[in-house]
Structure 1
């Protein structure tokens, strides 16, 4: 078999979409090989959030940790592969982290699945390779990675020229937490057969043992908040813990490798409801879609009242679409540093707890 040029760039693009393993995930991370979930081809990138798309990146993938991975494909015969493609990718990356939302990414993924007559939920579980995986946490990770600039840029070609390789090596040292990589996918044909051989040629980082998921507890969280967020936010967290205890709420702890979190949790006959989650990343996270499953917050009028109460708090802006499935909403923990603001915030969730418990009590009485 002999090396053969691809007929066109769309040919190589199509192969990457059909066979994402050509992105050399096992070479990028030999300890925990990267798996790729295709969001879409020709993924649009707007210049401003909410505006129409100005650019489009050849592929957008997500790895199993929710890291957005932008892929740009060029044939070695394309003169743009020398330097112009780098400028293009920088445009895509700079605007993607500012202007993409996890909702937009999820909608694109689901639309592509439907176009291919695939079930989005099944595709996601297959990607996560864990029947106990939590899709909501995955999409939260995507959102967090975007906002922190934790993305991956991959240049793909049949041959990576030396000029591009040098640029990629330089950028990979300078752009952390972003990763910049170059992958060659050579094609060999002969005797009616074809072989595709991927090779990571630039941007590889030293392989470090990956941290396993962490089991957080209250003591560890307090230490992490004190070390990373200072005494004022630690005091806010302690006040939330005291409030949860006074309301007989359980504390559920996250298992994030990098950031810890805890959730004041209401135990119900139908299961557990996590109200909100202060995190060592400096945010409070909400998944209002779960609350929508619990009466009386399954009613639109009660949902509107909850949003109205929260948005009356100075510094809190909860969007009207926060009850959409899988949509995570966050508020800066620093908003609650004023005692009056914290008191107002906790009063809202006093009302939430009281409403749910009152409804549960009424339902239990009616069943007798």
Structure 2
């Protein structure tokens, strides 16, 4: 029996197979494995109370200082967790001499520049592209990540907030994490409040066509209250207090009219969002027992249309049905939604609606038309 294996596979009741330490031949093999199976980042070790789950934004995500002539680097992998925290992954094999020193400076460069070079839209576009390249539906991948009471726009708002606040996570991933790197990780965690720094060791064991991967996380510390703050649930009072601070009287009247339509005199349930910076509310529709959320009102001063979330859902799943809905909103002067918006999440500002003398009537007619289509389903 081989020495130094440390891992055994029990086959049936009578056969014990010793697994031998293996290695990743190329860094690209490492990248592809994590891109396909982000579960290997063991979110339950990173946060045992609230295990992290991931969506891949992109492999080789570009980043720079934005200065003229500055080099453009590429982060090996970028993920987002369910709280919209950008997670930057740099991969090195244990044979790489840069594992101990060079990779630390590299990651600090990324951390210092990501909030100025990236936007929530940058990461969203990367996510959509990665999904398309792997044959996934972006809407489904995101829905699988999010809590039932969080909308996609609220999630991307969280991403925007985290970038602005520099709430990010840095992961050093290697098939062996040297003690020197573990000490650096511990030191960085002690010095930075908003940035979480971890090292993930992925040890590989092989035997014939069998492979076993054993992940271990180094550097985990209890999350600080500053980083672990719970999201608040908005309500009617807090929503309109926020509106009153930013909207004109006419815009506020339109917001109240839209909210009244959502409530339907108290006969319809409305769901309030949990955004950190912006509140939101939307009416609960369940055609054929399936929840859909075609439109929501946000304290950013906009009515958001969730065309992208309607794909493969009742009523507005087919593109022609979404086109018909889009045309209802295009009757508002200054609104010019296009077919390219039918798979996205466009918005109409309350200011635009208010600038049309008949804007309030037109937007309510569009919403009522939408409601009629749902009720017929």
For normalisation by structure 1, the TM-score amounts to 0.68
Aligned pair partner of 2:206 in 189, 202, 214: 189
Superposed CA deviations along residues 312-368 of structure 1, whole A, max 9, x for unmatched, are: xxxxxxxx9x9685457799xxxxxxxxxx9x78944875313334678999xxxxx
Alignment match, 1:38: 56
Query: Hey, what's the Cα distance between the residues in 1 that align with 2:301 and 2:132?
Result: 33
Aligned CA-pair RMSD = 4.5
Aligned pair partner of 2:330 in 288, 293, 298: 298
Change (3 A) 1:306 1:112: closer
> Aligned to 1:37, what secondary structure does the other structure show?
strand
Superposed CA deviations along residues 163-222 of structure 1, whole A, max 9, x for unmatched, are: 322222222233332222111111123465321111111143348897766433244568
Alignment match, 1:85: 103
For normalisation by structure 2, the TM-score amounts to 0.67
State which drifts further: 83-92 or 141-150.
141-150
Paired residues of 1:168 and 1:203 also in contact (CA < 8 A): no
Aligned pair partner of 2:135 in 113, 117, 136: 117
- 1:137 equivalent in alignment to 2:158: no
Alignment match, 2:315: none
Query: Hey, what's the Cα distance between the residues in 2 that align with 1:40 and 1:248?
Result: 38
Paired residues of 1:49 and 1:100 also in contact (CA < 8 A): no
Query: Hey, what's the Cα distance between the residues in 2 that align with 1:27 and 1:330?
Result: 42
Paired residues of 1:83 and 1:163 also in contact (CA < 8 A): no
Change (3 A) 1:297 1:30: same
Change (3 A) 1:328 1:90: farther
Structure 2: unaligned runs, 5 residues or longer = 6-19, 263-269, 286-291, 308-321, 371-377
- 1:199 equivalent in alignment to 2:231: no
- 1:108 equivalent in alignment to 2:126: yes
Counterparts of residues 6-25 of structure 1 (less than 5 Å): 6-25=24-43
State which drifts further: 134-143 or 209-218.
209-218
Change (3 A) 1:262 1:125: closer
State which drifts further: 241-250 or 146-155.
241-250
The number of aligned residues is 320
Counterparts of residues 161-176 of structure 1 (less than 5 Å): 161-176=178-193
Superposed CA deviations along residues 94-119 of structure 1, whole A, max 9, x for unmatched, are: 32211223333233222222222232
Aligned pair partner of 1:356 in 355, 363, 366: 363
Paired residues of 2:168 and 2:196 also in contact (CA < 8 A): yes
> Aligned to 2:72, what secondary structure does the other structure show?
strand
Alignment match, 1:27: 45
Structure 1: unaligned runs, 5 residues or longer = 226-232, 308-319, 332-341, 364-368
What is the deviation of 1:262?
4.4
What is the deviation of 1:65?
1.9
> Aligned to 2:132, what secondary structure does the other structure show?
helix
